[in-house]
Amino acid sequence: MQKSLDIFKAEPQSVFDVLCDKKNTGFYMPAYQRPYSWEETHIRDLFSDCENVFRNLLESPDAIIFLGSILSVDDSGATTIFPIAKRQIPTHIKLIIDGQQRLSTLMLIILCLNERLRVLLPNLKKSIETEDNDDALDTLESLREIVSQLIIDTSNFSIETTAEHTVYKYFPKIIRSQVDCWGKDENKAVYESPISQLLITYQRHVIEQSESVTFKPLDLSLMSDSDSAKRVVNNIKEIRKQLNCVQDGFEFKLPDGDIEEKLTINDFLDKETLDLCLDFPIDADLLSVAEKNKKN
Protein backbone atom coordinates (compact mmCIF):
# COMPACT_ATOMS: atom_id res chain seq x y z
CA MET A 1 0.00 0.00 0.00
CA GLN A 2 2.79 2.41 0.82
CA LYS A 3 4.34 1.89 -2.60
CA SER A 4 1.03 2.80 -4.27
CA LEU A 5 0.77 5.95 -2.21
CA ASP A 6 4.30 6.91 -3.28
CA ILE A 7 3.26 6.63 -6.92
CA PHE A 8 0.23 8.88 -6.57
CA LYS A 9 1.64 11.83 -4.69
CA ALA A 10 1.05 15.53 -5.25
CA GLU A 11 3.32 18.45 -4.55
CA PRO A 12 3.00 22.16 -5.32
CA GLN A 13 5.34 23.45 -8.00
CA SER A 14 5.77 26.74 -9.79
CA VAL A 15 5.58 27.14 -13.56
CA PHE A 16 9.34 27.61 -13.52
CA ASP A 17 9.81 24.33 -11.66
CA VAL A 18 7.66 22.38 -14.10
CA LEU A 19 8.63 23.90 -17.45
CA CYS A 20 11.79 26.00 -17.20
CA ASP A 21 13.96 24.26 -14.63
CA LYS A 22 13.76 20.74 -16.07
CA LYS A 23 15.87 21.21 -19.17
CA ASN A 24 15.96 17.60 -20.35
CA THR A 25 12.32 16.70 -19.69
CA GLY A 26 9.94 16.19 -22.59
CA PHE A 27 6.15 16.05 -22.26
CA TYR A 28 4.28 13.39 -24.22
CA MET A 29 0.57 13.74 -24.99
CA PRO A 30 -1.07 10.30 -25.49
CA ALA A 31 -3.47 9.69 -28.35
CA TYR A 32 -6.55 9.56 -26.11
CA GLN A 33 -6.02 13.17 -25.04
CA ARG A 34 -8.26 15.59 -26.90
CA PRO A 35 -6.50 18.08 -29.22
CA TYR A 36 -5.40 21.45 -27.91
CA SER A 37 -8.62 23.47 -27.63
CA TRP A 38 -7.98 26.64 -25.60
CA GLU A 39 -9.10 29.84 -27.30
CA GLU A 40 -8.37 33.55 -26.89
CA THR A 41 -10.93 33.98 -24.12
CA HIS A 42 -9.08 31.41 -22.00
CA ILE A 43 -5.85 33.35 -22.56
CA ARG A 44 -7.44 36.61 -21.45
CA ASP A 45 -8.91 34.99 -18.36
CA LEU A 46 -5.52 33.54 -17.41
CA PHE A 47 -3.76 36.88 -17.77
CA SER A 48 -6.54 38.58 -15.79
CA ASP A 49 -6.05 36.14 -12.93
CA CYS A 50 -2.28 36.67 -13.00
CA GLU A 51 -2.73 40.43 -13.02
CA ASN A 52 -5.00 40.33 -9.96
CA VAL A 53 -2.46 38.24 -8.08
CA PHE A 54 0.40 40.54 -9.07
CA ARG A 55 -1.49 43.62 -7.86
CA ASN A 56 -2.29 41.82 -4.61
CA LEU A 57 1.37 40.89 -4.28
CA LEU A 58 2.22 44.58 -3.98
CA GLU A 59 0.37 44.53 -0.67
CA SER A 60 0.74 40.97 0.60
CA PRO A 61 3.48 38.32 0.25
CA ASP A 62 0.84 35.60 0.54
CA ALA A 63 -0.80 36.31 -2.83
CA ILE A 64 -0.69 33.19 -5.01
CA ILE A 65 -2.52 31.80 -8.03
CA PHE A 66 -3.52 28.17 -8.42
CA LEU A 67 -3.27 27.22 -12.08
CA GLY A 68 -4.74 23.78 -11.64
CA SER A 69 -3.27 20.31 -11.34
CA ILE A 70 -1.19 18.35 -13.82
CA LEU A 71 -1.23 14.57 -13.61
CA SER A 72 1.75 12.86 -15.18
CA VAL A 73 3.51 9.51 -15.20
CA ASP A 74 7.25 9.07 -15.52
CA ASP A 75 7.96 7.25 -18.79
CA SER A 76 11.67 7.82 -19.19
CA GLY A 77 11.86 4.21 -20.40
CA ALA A 78 9.74 5.31 -23.40
CA THR A 79 7.36 2.37 -23.03
CA THR A 80 4.37 4.37 -24.30
CA ILE A 81 6.11 6.42 -27.00
CA PHE A 82 4.84 5.82 -30.55
CA PRO A 83 6.26 6.33 -33.06
CA ILE A 84 9.78 6.28 -31.64
CA ALA A 85 13.26 6.72 -33.09
CA LYS A 86 15.50 4.63 -30.85
CA ARG A 87 18.12 6.53 -28.90
CA GLN A 88 16.57 9.77 -30.14
CA ILE A 89 14.38 10.78 -27.22
CA PRO A 90 14.73 13.19 -24.27
CA THR A 91 16.51 11.94 -21.16
CA HIS A 92 13.33 12.26 -19.10
CA ILE A 93 9.77 11.86 -20.40
CA LYS A 94 6.52 12.73 -18.65
CA LEU A 95 3.34 11.12 -19.98
CA ILE A 96 0.59 13.69 -19.41
CA ILE A 97 -2.60 12.13 -18.08
CA ASP A 98 -4.40 15.38 -17.23
CA GLY A 99 -3.64 19.09 -17.59
CA GLN A 100 -2.37 19.22 -21.16
CA GLN A 101 -4.44 22.32 -22.02
CA ARG A 102 -2.87 24.36 -19.22
CA LEU A 103 0.58 22.88 -19.77
CA SER A 104 0.51 23.64 -23.50
CA THR A 105 -0.79 27.18 -22.95
CA LEU A 106 1.87 27.94 -20.34
CA MET A 107 4.47 26.73 -22.80
CA LEU A 108 3.11 29.14 -25.42
CA ILE A 109 3.35 31.98 -22.90
CA ILE A 110 6.94 31.07 -22.05
CA LEU A 111 7.79 31.04 -25.76
CA CYS A 112 6.24 34.51 -26.17
CA LEU A 113 8.12 35.78 -23.11
CA ASN A 114 11.35 34.52 -24.64
CA GLU A 115 10.50 36.27 -27.88
CA ARG A 116 9.66 39.54 -26.09
CA LEU A 117 12.89 39.49 -24.06
CA ARG A 118 14.96 38.86 -27.18
CA VAL A 119 13.25 41.79 -28.92
CA LEU A 120 13.85 44.13 -25.96
CA LEU A 121 17.46 43.17 -25.19
CA PRO A 122 19.05 45.18 -28.05
CA ASN A 123 17.35 48.35 -26.75
CA LEU A 124 18.81 47.69 -23.31
CA LYS A 125 22.26 47.18 -24.84
CA LYS A 126 21.84 50.45 -26.72
CA SER A 127 21.09 52.26 -23.46
CA ILE A 128 24.26 50.79 -21.94
CA GLU A 129 26.37 51.93 -24.90
CA THR A 130 25.15 55.52 -24.61
CA GLU A 131 25.21 55.80 -20.78
CA ASP A 132 28.00 57.94 -19.31
CA ASN A 133 27.04 57.81 -15.62
CA ASP A 134 28.93 55.04 -13.80
CA ASP A 135 26.18 54.32 -11.26
CA ALA A 136 23.51 54.16 -13.94
CA LEU A 137 25.80 52.02 -16.09
CA ASP A 138 26.20 49.50 -13.27
CA THR A 139 22.42 49.34 -12.82
CA LEU A 140 21.81 48.85 -16.53
CA GLU A 141 24.50 46.19 -16.76
CA SER A 142 22.95 44.29 -13.84
CA LEU A 143 19.59 44.49 -15.59
CA ARG A 144 21.15 43.23 -18.83
CA GLU A 145 22.55 40.21 -16.99
CA ILE A 146 19.12 39.46 -15.54
CA VAL A 147 17.38 39.75 -18.92
CA SER A 148 20.02 37.53 -20.52
CA GLN A 149 19.49 34.92 -17.80
CA LEU A 150 15.72 35.13 -18.25
CA ILE A 151 16.19 34.46 -21.96
CA ILE A 152 18.12 31.32 -21.04
CA ASP A 153 15.47 30.30 -18.47
CA THR A 154 12.63 30.73 -20.97
CA SER A 155 14.48 28.87 -23.72
CA ASN A 156 13.32 25.50 -22.42
CA PHE A 157 10.47 25.30 -24.92
CA SER A 158 12.97 23.02 -26.64
CA ILE A 159 15.48 20.42 -25.45
CA GLU A 160 19.07 20.63 -26.65
CA THR A 161 20.74 17.33 -27.51
CA THR A 162 24.33 16.41 -28.30
CA ALA A 163 23.61 16.04 -32.03
CA GLU A 164 25.85 17.96 -34.41
CA HIS A 165 23.13 19.11 -36.80
CA THR A 166 22.26 22.74 -36.04
CA VAL A 167 18.52 22.33 -36.62
CA TYR A 168 17.86 18.75 -35.57
CA LYS A 169 19.85 18.92 -32.35
CA TYR A 170 16.72 20.34 -30.68
CA PHE A 171 13.56 18.54 -29.60
CA PRO A 172 10.30 20.40 -28.99
CA LYS A 173 9.37 20.16 -25.31
CA ILE A 174 5.89 18.83 -26.09
CA ILE A 175 4.85 16.26 -28.70
CA ARG A 176 1.69 14.24 -29.38
CA SER A 177 1.38 10.49 -29.85
CA GLN A 178 1.06 9.08 -33.38
CA VAL A 179 1.50 12.41 -35.19
CA ASP A 180 4.89 13.53 -33.80
CA CYS A 181 8.24 11.80 -33.39
CA TRP A 182 11.32 13.13 -31.62
CA GLY A 183 14.32 12.76 -33.88
CA LYS A 184 17.88 14.02 -34.31
CA ASP A 185 17.90 13.83 -38.09
CA GLU A 186 15.70 14.97 -40.95
CA ASN A 187 14.48 11.48 -41.84
CA LYS A 188 13.14 10.64 -38.39
CA ALA A 189 11.96 13.91 -36.83
CA VAL A 190 8.24 14.54 -37.40
CA TYR A 191 6.36 17.43 -35.78
CA GLU A 192 2.86 17.77 -37.18
CA SER A 193 0.77 18.65 -34.13
CA PRO A 194 0.36 22.45 -33.91
CA ILE A 195 2.05 22.82 -30.51
CA SER A 196 5.19 20.85 -31.36
CA GLN A 197 5.27 22.45 -34.82
CA LEU A 198 5.26 25.91 -33.27
CA LEU A 199 7.94 25.03 -30.70
CA ILE A 200 10.35 23.66 -33.28
CA THR A 201 9.59 26.45 -35.78
CA TYR A 202 10.39 29.08 -33.17
CA GLN A 203 13.59 27.26 -32.19
CA ARG A 204 14.71 27.32 -35.81
CA HIS A 205 13.80 31.01 -35.97
CA VAL A 206 16.06 31.66 -32.96
CA ILE A 207 18.91 29.91 -34.76
CA GLU A 208 18.34 31.96 -37.91
CA GLN A 209 18.29 35.21 -35.93
CA SER A 210 21.40 34.42 -33.88
CA GLU A 211 23.70 36.57 -36.03
CA SER A 212 21.32 39.55 -36.26
CA VAL A 213 21.78 42.70 -34.19
CA THR A 214 18.04 42.86 -33.56
CA PHE A 215 15.55 40.05 -33.07
CA LYS A 216 12.41 39.85 -35.17
CA PRO A 217 9.23 38.23 -33.85
CA LEU A 218 8.33 34.91 -35.40
CA ASP A 219 6.36 35.15 -38.63
CA LEU A 220 3.25 33.13 -37.78
CA SER A 221 2.47 32.55 -41.44
CA LEU A 222 5.13 29.84 -41.28
CA MET A 223 2.62 27.68 -39.43
CA SER A 224 0.30 25.38 -41.35
CA ASP A 225 -3.20 26.58 -42.21
CA SER A 226 -5.11 23.74 -40.52
CA ASP A 227 -7.89 24.64 -38.10
CA SER A 228 -5.91 23.33 -35.13
CA ALA A 229 -2.83 25.33 -36.14
CA LYS A 230 -4.95 28.46 -36.58
CA ARG A 231 -6.14 28.09 -32.98
CA VAL A 232 -2.52 28.06 -31.76
CA VAL A 233 -1.63 31.02 -33.99
CA ASN A 234 -4.60 33.02 -32.69
CA ASN A 235 -3.57 32.23 -29.12
CA ILE A 236 -0.02 33.41 -29.80
CA LYS A 237 -1.42 36.68 -31.18
CA GLU A 238 -3.56 37.07 -28.06
CA ILE A 239 -0.62 36.35 -25.75
CA ARG A 240 1.40 39.01 -27.56
CA LYS A 241 -1.45 41.49 -26.99
CA GLN A 242 -1.61 40.61 -23.32
CA LEU A 243 2.15 41.02 -22.94
CA ASN A 244 1.78 44.47 -24.51
CA CYS A 245 -0.69 45.29 -21.73
CA VAL A 246 1.78 44.04 -19.12
CA GLN A 247 4.59 46.07 -20.67
CA ASP A 248 2.38 49.16 -20.69
CA GLY A 249 1.77 48.91 -16.94
CA PHE A 250 -0.84 46.14 -16.69
CA GLU A 251 -3.36 48.22 -18.63
CA PHE A 252 -5.78 45.39 -19.28
CA LYS A 253 -9.17 45.98 -20.83
CA LEU A 254 -12.04 45.02 -18.53
CA PRO A 255 -15.18 43.18 -19.75
CA ASP A 256 -17.21 46.40 -19.48
CA GLY A 257 -14.76 48.26 -21.72
CA ASP A 258 -12.91 50.15 -18.99
CA ILE A 259 -9.13 50.00 -18.68
CA GLU A 260 -7.34 48.87 -15.54
CA GLU A 261 -5.44 51.56 -13.66
CA LYS A 262 -1.91 51.70 -14.98
CA LEU A 263 0.96 50.63 -12.76
CA THR A 264 4.24 52.51 -12.98
CA ILE A 265 7.69 51.64 -11.74
CA ASN A 266 6.98 53.88 -8.75
CA ASP A 267 4.35 51.38 -7.62
CA PHE A 268 7.07 48.73 -7.39
CA LEU A 269 9.67 50.89 -5.66
CA ASP A 270 11.17 49.20 -2.57
CA LYS A 271 8.34 46.68 -2.28
CA GLU A 272 9.67 43.88 -0.11
CA THR A 273 6.92 41.51 -1.22
CA LEU A 274 8.33 41.52 -4.78
CA ASP A 275 11.58 39.94 -3.58
CA LEU A 276 9.78 36.60 -3.75
CA CYS A 277 9.01 36.82 -7.46
CA LEU A 278 11.62 39.16 -8.99
CA ASP A 279 15.34 38.56 -9.42
CA PHE A 280 16.25 42.18 -8.81
CA PRO A 281 15.08 44.98 -6.49
CA ILE A 282 13.12 47.93 -7.85
CA ASP A 283 15.16 50.62 -6.14
CA ALA A 284 15.92 54.29 -6.66
CA ASP A 285 18.80 53.55 -9.04
CA LEU A 286 16.62 51.45 -11.33
CA LEU A 287 13.87 54.06 -11.15
CA SER A 288 16.33 56.73 -12.25
CA VAL A 289 17.61 54.84 -15.30
CA ALA A 290 14.06 53.79 -16.22
CA GLU A 291 12.92 57.40 -16.27
CA LYS A 292 15.93 58.37 -18.38
CA ASN A 293 15.45 55.55 -20.87
CA LYS A 294 11.69 55.55 -21.36
CA LYS A 295 11.96 55.35 -25.14
CA ASN A 296 14.18 52.28 -24.96
Tell me the torsion sign for CA atoms 210, 148, 171, 202.
negative
Q: Which long-range contacts (CB under 8 A, 24 or more apart) does 2-11 make?
A: 10/69
Q: What is the reported pTM?
A: 0.91
**Residues 244-280 pLDDT 10s:** 999 888 888 777 777 888 888 888 887 777 766 666 6
In one-letter notation, the amino acid at residue 153 is: D
**Side-chain half-sphere of 63: how many Cα atoms within 13 Å?**
18
**Residues 92-147 pLDDT 10s:** 999 999 999 999 999 999 999 999 999 999 999 998 998 888 888 998 998 899 89
Q: How confident is the model at residue 1 (pLDDT cuts 50, 70, 90)?
A: very low
**Residues 36-84 pLDDT 10s:** 999 999 999 999 888 888 888 777 767 677 777 888 999 989 999 999 9
